[in-house]
Amino acid sequence: MTAFGQGAATVGRRTWSVEIRSANHRYLDLKIRLPQPYAVLEGAIRREVETEYRRGHVEVDLNLNDRDQAKTKPVVNLPLAREYLRGLQLLRDEFSLADRPSLEMIKDLPELFRLEETTTDPEDEWPQIRQALSAALINTRLMREREGFATKCELIKRLAKIRRNLDQLDSEIPSIAVRRKARLQRRLTIMLNGADIEPTRLAQEIVILTDKADISEELARLTSHLDQFTVFLAAHEPIGRRLDFLLQEFFREINTISSKINEAGVAQLGVELKNEVEKMREQVQNLE
């Protein structure tokens, strides 16, 4: 699942914009890109994002559009201005001049004014940045929820198909047991080649071997896993990892069934079940 969200906040002529992109990942892999002065806010941004994401590859980009052209401000060199005025006063007194020292006399003198680059404290701008970040997170969440709902609907369809296959397999257990018992009896008769073995003992051995091939327990566990899977799908909380674990259990039980029953029909059902489970595992990666 991929998701995208944007958010913005404007104060005066400054606009902060946040873009968030996310994709599937087993764990949370968070990358935050900020303008250099705002690097101090990375921790705060990370905490906000982690309230929404528990896993996934997430990229957060913060950008500032500053339409204020005044990047510097003039600063008066007051100590130097005092020295200039004191010097003019000395000249006036020394030469008995009539004019009094004034601003007009000193305003163009060297280094009386200097330009300083305007700076802002990123911490002061955090409320606006947080507002833009929250909007981006909400928009990303809405997209993820839409895709998550579609994914859950698809998973429910596949669950129904798996249940039908299991019901079919369950209905065939009696006939599978009969066929297996007959095959075992033929094989043992050939292997024994007329050896003197009591029929009762032979029947017991056949029952033991037939029981070892019984798949009732595997089918029961698979049904239980399916029920649990359905419960998780209805939960309003992160379920991706739990569903992935259950699907691993699906695979284990299906492999056991396939190894116990060496019949073409069962083998085909096993292949179909594995295909469905594999598709479900791919889709579960889209869920948090």
Asked whether residue 205 falls in the same domain as residue 275, the answer is yes
Predicted pLDDT of residue 14: 85
Integer Cα distance of 179 and 263 in angstroms: 10
Asked whether residue 158 falls in the same domain as residue 43, the answer is no
Asked whether residue 278 falls in the same domain as residue 153, the answer is yes
Low-confidence residues in the chain, pLDDT < 70: 68-73, 115-119, 184, 188, 191-213
Integer Cα distance of 4 and 253 in angstroms: 38
Side chain identity, residue 173: I
Integer Cα distance of 34 and 16 in angstroms: 11
Query: Contact at 8 Å (CB) between 54 and 238?
Result: yes
By C-alpha distance, which of 191, 252, 198, 203 is closest to 225? Answer: 252
Asked whether residue 93 falls in the same domain as residue 51, the answer is no
Q: What is the CATH number of the domain that holds 277?
A: 1.20.140
Predicted pLDDT of residue 131: 96
Asked whether residue 187 falls in the same domain as residue 206, the answer is yes
Integer Cα distance of 39 and 33 in angstroms: 8
Predicted pLDDT of residue 267: 78
Please state the domain count of the chain: 3
Predicted pLDDT of residue 194: 59
SS3 track for the chain = CCEEEEEEEEECCEEEEEEEEEECCCCEEEEEECCHHHHHHHHHHHHHHHCCCCCEEEEEEEEEEECCCCCEEEEECHHHHHHHHHHHHHHHHHCCCCCCCCHHHHCCCCCCEEEEECCCCHHHHHHHHHHHHHHHHHHHHHHHHHHHHHHHHHHHHHHHHHHHHHHHHHHCHHHHHHHHHHHHHHHHHHHHCCCCCCHHHHHHHHHHHHHHCCCHHHHHHHHHHHHHHHHHHCCCCCCHHHHHHHHHHHHHHHHHHHHHCCCHHHHHHHHHHHHHHHHHHHHHCCCC
Structural domain that includes position 25? 3-69+123-142
Predicted pLDDT of residue 117: 64
Asked whether residue 42 falls in the same domain as residue 113, the answer is no
Asked whether residue 13 falls in the same domain as residue 138, the answer is yes
Q: What is the CATH number of the domain that holds 42?
A: 3.30.230
Integer Cα distance of 84 and 81 in angstroms: 5
Asked whether residue 7 falls in the same domain as residue 136, the answer is yes
pLDDT in tens, 30-46: 999 999 889 999 999 99
Query: Contact at 8 Å (CB) between 45 and 175?
Result: no
Asked whether residue 240 falls in the same domain as residue 277, the answer is yes
User: Could you give the C-alpha distances from 221 to 50, 123, 141, 210, 213, in angstroms and in order?
Assistant: 36, 55, 35, 20, 16
Asked whether residue 181 falls in the same domain as residue 53, the answer is no
Predicted pLDDT of residue 31: 96
By C-alpha distance, which of 52, 39, 194 is closest to 134? Answer: 52
Asked whether residue 89 falls in the same domain as residue 176, the answer is no
Strands 14-23 and 113-117: unpaired
Other Cβ atoms less than 10 A from the Cβ of 51: the count is: 9
Asked whether residue 134 falls in the same domain as residue 7, the answer is yes
pLDDT in tens, 257-283: 887 777 777 778 888 899 999 999 988
Predicted pLDDT of residue 231: 93
Query: Is the Cα torsion angle 228, 233, 238, 241 positive or negative in sign?
Result: positive
Please classify residue 201 by burial: count the beta carbons closer than 10 Å to its beta carbon, then call 0-12 exposed, 13-18 middle and 19+ buried.
Answer: exposed
Integer Cα distance of 26 and 281 in angstroms: 12
